[in-house]
Amino acid sequence: MKVPKAGAVAAVIALAATASGCGGEAKKEPISVGIKFDQPGIGMREADGTFTGFDVDVATYVAKELGYKANEIEFKQVYSSDRELLIQYNEVKFVAASYTINDKRREKVDFAGPYFVAHQDLLVRADDNSITKAEDLNTKRLCSVTGSTSAENVRSKLAPKASVLELGGYSECLVALQDNLVDAMTTDNSILAGYAARKGNEGKFKLVGLNLSNENYGIGIKKGDSALQKKINAALSKMVSDGSWEAAVKKNFGQANYKYEPAPRVTAGG
């Protein structure tokens, strides 16, 4: 009896394995979604590796409508300064990260939505009553995040003499506020409410309660992808109509006694 060579045996085994795999279901590639990892109530990576927040719930709902289960979503961290880049270089399929729709960003990416309306506000230490209006910032130290619209809005319209410290993330701003390195931090009231309500922060901070701007959150997608834009818009409209949007808002912001706006009408690309 002729014994086959080892190489031939290996080839037969490999061929058999390939053939047996053809009948099985091909593994679906996960969908990559950009979110914030450090915004309580919006997008947060918890200590156990799970993700929580309103944007996480919106992204999960949209992904489901696109045909992906929760375990087929790969969340990737995005910062305010690199959202457009991750979309442009196909690192993510879409971004849901407290991403305000504006004309400057529309030059680089397209948006679906809007799906939420926030307003720029200020967060201060609970015992500080010296800041009651935007003009008070002219003699104060203010923290915001690099790449966000908030710092630009303060400089150009509200308090041009304010001393502005720009850091990489809102968590860093919160530490600076807690340590008296700054007098206030500014961004959307939804984000600030999430920090104020976070476990361990109760009673330490307060929102001033100013509506310094209107921030329409949209889902960022690659420029020109009108098919994806249409699908996401349909998903967002369905999320509102079936009650999932309202449930997600109450789940993520209820503890902060946050007065949110009703769901906006989806108009992007329409």
pLDDT score for 224: 97
Strand, helix or coil at 112?
Answer: strand
Residues 80 and 96 in one domain: yes
Instruction: Please report, as a single letter, which amino acid is at residue 82.
Output: D
Residues 135 and 197 in one domain: yes
pLDDT score for 116: 97
CA separation, residue 224 to residues 90, 114, 136, 217, 230 (Å): 13, 17, 43, 19, 11
pLDDT score for 255: 64
pLDDT score for 20: 41
- Whether 270 maps to a domain, the answer reads no
Domain count across the chain: 2
Strand, helix or coil at 58?
Answer: helix
pLDDT score for 18: 43
- Give the range of the structural domain holding residue 162, as residue numbers without chain letter: 119-207
- Whether 17 maps to a domain, the answer reads no
d(CA 144, CA 259): 22
- Whether 4 maps to a domain, the answer reads no
Each residue's pLDDT expressed in tens, for the chain with a length of 270 residues? 444 554 544 444 444 444 444 444 567 899 999 999 988 999 999 999 999 999 999 999 999 999 999 999 999 999 988 999 999 999 999 999 999 999 999 999 999 999 999 999 999 999 999 999 999 999 999 999 887 778 788 888 889 999 999 998 888 999 999 999 999 999 999 989 888 888 888 889 999 999 998 999 999 999 999 999 999 999 999 999 999 999 999 888 876 667 789 999 998 664
User: Residues 82, 109: contact at Cβ < 8 Å?
Assistant: no
CA proximity to 218, closest of 84, 66, 69, 77: 84
35 CB contacts (<8 Å, ≥6 apart)?
A: 43, 51, 53, 55, 56, 59, 75, 76, 77, 78, 95, 96, 97
pLDDT score for 13: 42
- Whether 162 maps to a domain, the answer reads yes
- Whether 105 maps to a domain, the answer reads yes
Residues 112 and 222 in one domain: yes
pLDDT score for 23: 47
- Residue 88's domain is classified under what CATH number? 3.40.190.10
- Whether 84 maps to a domain, the answer reads yes
CA separation, residue 269 to residues 98, 108, 112 (Å): 19, 15, 7
Query: Which DSSP category does 26 fall into?
Result: P
pLDDT score for 256: 65
- Whether 266 maps to a domain, the answer reads no
pLDDT score for 251: 87
